[in-house]
Amino acid sequence: MRHLRMRWLLAACMMLGAPPVPVQAAQPAYLTSVLKVRQLHPDMYVIEGPANGEVPNPNMIIYVTGAGVVVVDPWFAVDYRHVVAAIRSVTSEPVRYVVNTHFHEDHSGANGEWPVGVVIIAQDNSRLHMLEKAMPGPPNTTFSDQLTLYLGGKTVQLRYLGPGHTDGDIAVYFPEWKTVCLGDLMAGTNGVTNPVVDYANGGTLAAWPRALDKSLAFDVAEVVPGHGPIVGRDGLVAHRDKVAAIAGSLRGWDKEGRTVAQIHDLLISTYGFKPINLAPLDGLVAEFR
């Protein structure tokens, strides 16, 4: 539990722009066994944090192409050797590409652990934030708007969606299965998806629905959120509409002259906000004032 609390604290520090706390060297109990890997499609697998006793860890995708593996959001550095063991449990192919949906450490912390020759990819702004914060393993390949990977006859499309959770959020789309990975532009706590805005690193709630609209431009049948259960296109549409409704409510509450304390309570009672969603409350109020 101490290790679990440390990960939550680290995630909160990253979101608020505070200096990250050092991660404890002790291994959590679940890392003494092989991670659980769930097969989504014949060549696609997911490692889910909650399924392995680690709630803060995101959904990690393993895509086997026949000419190498594409990994999306490789967890923390402390998880690296267990992630590799999990990949080896489903394929002997080498990892060729590691993609970060954004720069936060639960999605990029293991970047620096991969062997030389593995291509680490993120959007331009994500690399800049990692360099600014002296985070290990900044991406060695970046793009501004979109990038397409071709490997083993398969295609992976990376697209910058614009600011939302941060200013470097991307979608990772697998056209073979009409599957899109959205990082923390869609993230759930106990089944409830609510936005967590990292204002210190370019995040914005006002622009968030537009970013989700861009993700819906893909032919989407399956959505892998940064955290939480995998859903269909309808789930993404519902999430987009909810984020837009939250933004509209914040505008309305400001016009009504609501206090910060009142807005705090309304976000909980109306939308089920959790502490992690409420952490940037001052930013949420200021953005719509």
SS3 labels along 131-199: HHCCCCCCCCEEECCEEEEEECCEEEEEEECCCCCCCCCEEEEECCCCEEECHHHCEEECCEECCCCCH
Closest CA to 48 of 32, 33, 37, 40: 37
Is pLDDT above 80 for 14?
no
Kindly indicate the confidence band of residue 56, based on its pLDDT and cuts at 50, 70 and 90: confident
CA–CA separation, 240 vs 174, rounded Å? 20
Into how many domains does the chain fold?
1
Q: What is the CATH number of the domain that holds 81?
A: 3.60.15.10
Neighbours of 228 (CB within 10 A): 23
Can you give the pTM of this predicted structure?
A: 0.89
The predicted model gives 197-224 an average pLDDT of: 98
CA–CA separation, 214 vs 203, rounded Å? 16
Closest CA to 108 of 92, 131, 90: 131
Q: Worst-scoring range by mean pLDDT, 42-51, 61-70, 188-197?
A: 188-197
What's the pLDDT score for residue 190? 66
Q: What is the residue-averaged pLDDT of the chain?
A: 90
Token pair of 137 as six digits: 């393993």
Distinct helix (H) and strand (E) counts, the chain = 9, 14
Phi, psi dihedral angles at 137 (to 5 degrees): 70, 45
The predicted model gives 219-229 an average pLDDT of: 96
- What SS3 state is found at 76? coil
The predicted model gives 82-110 an average pLDDT of: 97
Q: Which domain holds residue 273?
A: 2-287
Kindly indicate the confidence band of residue 276, based on its pLDDT and cuts at 50, 70 and 90: very high
Identify the bridge partners of residue 41 per DSSP, sorted by sequence position.
44
The predicted model gives 54-65 an average pLDDT of: 90
Can you give 97-142 as a three-state secondary structure string?
Answer: EEECCCCCHHHHCCHHHCCCCCEEEEEHHHHHHHHHCCCCCCCCEE
The predicted model gives 22-38 an average pLDDT of: 60
What's the pLDDT score for residue 52? 83
